[in-house]
Amino acid sequence: MGEIRLHMFTSNINCSNNTPFLPQKDLLPAFYMNNSNAQPHRSRLNLAASAFFTTILAIILPIIVAGCAAQTGAVSAKPNPISTGLPAVPAAIAPQMGAGAAGSATNRAPQPQQIPAAPLGPRPKVLIIATGGTIAGAQEQPGTTGAYRAGSLTAEQIIASVPELPRYADVESEQFSNVASTAITPAQWIALSRRINKVLSERKDLAGVVVTHGTDRLEETAFFLYLTIRSDKPVVVVGAQHPATGLSPDGPINLLGAVRTAASTAAVGKGVMVVMDDRIISARETRKNYQRVGGFSGGDMGLLGVVASSGVEFFFAPVRKHGSQSEFDLAGVDSVLPRVELTFSYPGGTGVTFDTLPAAVVVATTGFTRAEGTSYQALRRKGVVVATAFPSGDNVTAVGGGEGGPPAGATSATSATSATGANGGRGGAGGAGATGTAAGTASGSAIDQPPLPPQVTVQHLTPQKARILMMVALTKTHDPRELQKIFLQY
């Protein structure tokens, strides 16, 4: 018998096109016999083999065709990034943008998936109070890096963009305002603080409160609440650097982190906090360093913890007075806080003058010039409280002369020298301030001058926050020595 060799020729099967699948002739077998004596058997072998493989193909081909059809359908169902173009506006946001903003039915983004099942047992209740800002911002051209209008979306629309919220809390919402944070005034600070204090005292079922806010003034509002919220329940302020309709909004993940923090029992007693980029920062130390994602920092001492995938984790806690320890009760305060001005000291500076004197002045300084020292001494003699703060807010300096003033029994000349030469200029603790003799000569003999009221020293607080603390503290006292005590406690 001669040797028989079987060759099977196949072609590649392409499932990506839509052409009907047809068997190719090169799928049929060919038989070759290298022995001439085997020629009489060739036709019979060919017929038998052809019948065998035709039967096999009749069984296999329908399976292959069905598989290709399923694969082609799955490929065509996937959105084509080229044809869809920019991402569509979420359904919750589309009504704000007008007709057609969400795109046609053919290129609209997929709807949010069903909310995952909530954990077993009752969920904590969290109230979200919306004030506007970038987190509620909307664009005329959604899905771009273009301009937007802050405070465009409602609290309900913001919440609807975070379908995971019900996993962690029963969320309620109310609209306090809907403006850019630069429009937030001290009068609104007072109203917001009163509202939060009221709801936390009346609603025993609330675990905490989240305030959505624009980032331009977020750190100021958060610090005011830190000073005036008289509850140990968590209050979290949150914002966003990208608008809700932007190419890559950070508001939803920030809001989720804020709600998780407010719902956490570990957050009780930590004071008012800011949650941005999964970082939990004490409101006392929160700073906006730049206008992009990750731009908020707690400096050297402000980071309290993180919002991890496994839960809210705290590693530090504030030790200055806050929450239920706060003595600042706004119940008897009207909508106007004492006027406090914020000024800067600089090379060649000559100080400031006012047509109408404020209650106090906070000076951002690393050291007064002689002329500045004289100017601020004159304000102190007129009853204006002067406080000095390091521009960066990071300096911790000693308070000179007891509680920020001269030693008991000091003469007026000695008082002036102590207050400006020894501790009056350099962020409240030194510098080239004017001497008592120079100050006295400016308006007569130093002996004729009344005792110089002490200057308030600010420790580890930015000048703008020192101004807020001064505004609140002046509702309690105007005595510089008592004010110094407050600044050392808060």
Write the pLDDT tens digit of every residue in 66-122.
665 555 444 344 443 333 333 444 444 444 443 333 333 334 444 444 444 455 578
pLDDT band at residue 325 using 50, 70 and 90 as cut-offs: very high
How high is the pLDDT of residue 7? 42
Helices marked H in 9-119:
39-77, 81-84, 94-97
Q: d(Cα 488, Cα 222) in Å, to the nearest integer?
A: 19
How high is the pLDDT of residue 65? 55
- CA dihedral (10, 14, 17, 19) in degrees, to 10, reads 20
Q: Count of residues for the chain?
A: 490
Segment among 145-154, 165-174, 209-218 with least mean pLDDT: 145-154
10, 131, 134, 437: the catalytic one is: 134
Q: d(Cα 455, Cα 405) in Å, to the nearest integer?
A: 6
What would the two tokens of residue 182 be?
A: 């630069």
Helices marked H in 356-435:
370-381, 401-404, 412-416
Residue 244 identity = A
**Structural domains in the chain, sorted by start:** 4-76 (no CATH), 125-325 (3.40.50.1170), 338-489 (3.40.50.40)
**pTM, full prediction:** 0.70
Write the pLDDT tens digit of every residue in 4-31.
443 443 444 444 444 444 444 444 444 3
How high is the pLDDT of residue 99? 36
For 170, phi then psi, to 5°, come to -85, 110
How high is the pLDDT of residue 17? 46
Alpha carbon separation from 292 to 90, 143, 240, 297 (Å, rounded)? 22, 17, 9, 12
pLDDT band at residue 146 using 50, 70 and 90 as cut-offs: confident
Query: Is the separation of the CB atoms in 338 and 359 below 8 Å?
Result: yes
Task: State yes or no: is 134 an active-site residue.
Answer: yes
Q: Percentage of the chain with pLDDT > 70?
A: 66
